[in-house]
Structure 1
Amino acid sequence: MDAGTTAAADWWANAICRMEPGVVELRGIPVQELIGSHGFVATIWLMVRGTSPSPREAALLEAAMVASVDHGPQAPSIAIARMTATCGVGLNNAMASGVNALGDSHGGAGQQCVELLSAIVSREEAGESLEAATEAVVTDFRKHSRYLPGFGHRFHPRDPRRDPLLGLVDEAVAEGVVAGNHLRAARAVEELLNKGRAKPIPMNIDGATAVIYAELGFPPPLARGLFVLSRSVGILAHAWEETTQGRRNKGPVPTSILPTVLPVQA
């Protein structure tokens, strides 16, 4: 290749996908070898990490992703996708609109919880007791936020997804699949939060999946990315259902309900 062609090829250099006539390789593995042998979740791992997970690792990741696919149309991302689907656009537009609503407040708690738990684990590895590390990290976090990501839920007194996920992590720790340090940190936070409280604040889905992502070695930003992939399934299902119902220009409330008019401020 001449210098210009080489520069153009180098511009898009990557270790993820090699494609040329008759060849498609994902992380160096011919795609025809992956088809039928790699599950979708294992392929996600391969693509973002560059290695293939063990069957137990893939099963744990799959459990976390299954648990997060949907939480009903009251979730902004789902509601937005359903409304967009009635506006004369395609499914891809409706899905993109829903995904674009997943930010720090709606969709970011898993990433934030991984950061929280990782900070506790780092301090413990540096020699602090788990209790001291937990109290220090939680105290610091509360200086800039009322909420601890991954704990408590505005709908569920106890998130129904929490216990099955943590049970799977307990099994994985017992079998040596994961170390369990982030699981211990999460339970330490939960214990600290509930000291002296009559009404408990249990870990929620974001906390439980954060434990799994952290135990499996995913960096915090990928925890959010994996949640987005998971929730995209629910977004697709809701957008498609809304499309099949034939409604046009669906708004956030029925047309019989008009917004309250606020007084004009001087």
Structure 2
Amino acid sequence: MTTWAGKAADLLAETKRWWTTRIIDIRPGEIRIKGRPIETLIGHAGYARMVWLMLRDDEPTPAELALLEAALVAAVDHGPQAPSIAIARMAVTCGAPLNAAMASAINVLDGVHGGAGEQCLQLYADVLARANDGLELEAAVHAALDAFVAAHGKMIPGFGHRFHPVDPRSVRLLALVEDAVEAGAATGRYARVGRLVERALEQRTGTRIPMNIDGATAVVYGELNFAPPLARGLFILSRSVGILAHAWEQKQQGGRIKGPLPPAVGYTYAGDD
């Protein structure tokens, strides 16, 4: 016969299991992240290492941390016309506090605006999976592109840019990846796949479509063995810095109920007269 005390003990055990985590252990006067006392990390671990530590169980090398930090730096901002940044600024002029402005902006970092890095890394991973199954790498690139186009359409995430003929961020990131490969800190597999995708797109279209920031960060995150969904999360961590900066700047500038364009510009009415 189960006693009242036994039921209470079972309920307490079930309650403790409700949230199960290997990330952090908090007790009175003690905070440990992945087994490391927080006071040993404060003042010793940089932000990139904390991101790695929270997401991974392995210990990064200095070269790996440098690559991660470079990718986080590269994507912080792309100007007030970037939809997420514009949304944050407009939200502030509507009276929203910083947290609401940031949340409004982050909420649009989805499949179209913000998801390209994840999608591109999935494409790279598909290429490598096909190569592991026996296809020559260039053939694997074309097979993966065919499959992606059939499933999602002709726009290939991570390549081409509406504003930059050549994205300066991707050039720098790829150079850093090459340095990491020479130092033995990366395999270069994802960098090679990215270059081959770029070449394949030029063969197919007759036009060079250079890798952009999303394609380059996908290379970095692939080389660092991050899962594709984390590419989007890491991008959001990075872009949140720009979102905060623009929201705060707009708060200092003031303004009231600013829309996406000055009222004098107007818009196009396409209905019946």
User: Unaligned regions of 5+ residues in structure 2, if any?
Assistant: 1-7
Question: Following the alignment from structure 1 to structure 2, what is the Cα–Cα distance between the partners of residues 52 and 247?
Answer: 47
Structure whose alpha-carbon radius of gyration is higher: 2
1:16–1:50 contact (8 Å) kept in structure 2 = no
Checking the alignment, whether the CA contact within 8 Å between 1:162 and 1:208 is kept in structure 2 is yes
Aligned partner of 1:213 among 198, 203, 221: 221
For each residue in 1:115-150, what CA deviation from the matched residue of structure 2 results, as whole angstroms up to 9, or x when unmatched?
000111111122211111011111111123121111
2:169 pairs with 1:165: no
Equivalent in 91, 94, 99 of residue 92 of structure 1: 99
Letter in 2 for 1:146: K
Counterpart Cα distance in 2 of 1:164 and 1:68: 12
Alignment-derived partner of residue 141 in structure 2: 134
Farther off after superposition, 175-184 or 236-245: 175-184
Normalised by the length of structure 2, the TM-score is: 0.93
Root-mean-square deviation (CA, aligned residues, Å) is 1.5
How many Å separate the matches in 2 of 1:219 and 1:79?
29
Aligned-partner residue type, residue 92 of structure 1? N
CA distance in 2 between counterparts of 1:260 and 1:37 reads 56
Alpha carbons 1:43, 1:52 under 8 Å: kept: no
1:186 aligns with 2:186: no
SS at match of 2:168: coil
Equivalent in the alignment of 1:174: 182
TM-score (structure 1 length as normaliser): 0.96
Could you tell me which residue of structure 1 aligns to residue 31 of structure 2? 24
For 1:170-204, what per-residue CA distance to the aligned partner results, in whole angstroms no more than 9, with x for missing partners? 11111111111111111111111112766411111
Counterpart of 2:160 (choices 129, 137, 152) is 152
Q: Which amino acid aligns with 1:32?
A: E
How far 1:8 moved relative to its partner? 1.0
Count of equivalent residues: 265
Q: Which runs of 4+ in 1 moved over 4 A?
A: none
- Whether 2:56 is the aligned partner of 1:49: answer yes
AA in 2 matched with 1:236: L
CA–CA distance in 2 between the matches of 1:248 and 1:24?
43
More helix by share: 2
Post-superposition CA distance 1:86-137 (Å, at most 9, x none): 1112100000000001010000000000000011111112221111101111
